[in-house]
Amino acid sequence: MALVPALQVLTWPFLALTVFVLGRGWYLELSNGERWSSTWKKRSSVILVLSTLLAGTIWGLRFAGFLGGTPL
């Protein structure tokens, strides 16, 4: 129960961190072009798409009020 106020305060910094990290990943993904089409590049693209979808789903549930109170 003591964690609830701390998590409420940290909602916005965690959201900012999520956007920053995913934004950096997408920037690196899109800035490298299609010169290298290795297996690792394909795998990293899939992981980046899946992690973006997962983060969007979790934050959507958070702001909809399904994962605690709405932060707004």
- Asked whether residue 1 carries a pLDDT value surpassing 60, the answer given is no
Record the pTM. 0.76
Higher pLDDT, 72 or 29: 29
| Alpha carbon distance 41, 14 (integer Å) | 27
The predicted structure's pLDDT at residue 41: 79
The predicted structure's pLDDT at residue 36: 65
Return the H-helix or E-strand segment holding 60.
helix 39-64
The predicted structure's pLDDT at residue 2: 66
CA–CA–CA angle 3, 20, 33 (5° rounding): 150
> 70: which residues sit within 8 A by CB, 6+ positions away?
63, 64
List, for residues 2-48, the tens digit of each pLDDT value. 666 777 778 889 999 999 999 998 888 888 766 667 777 788 888 99
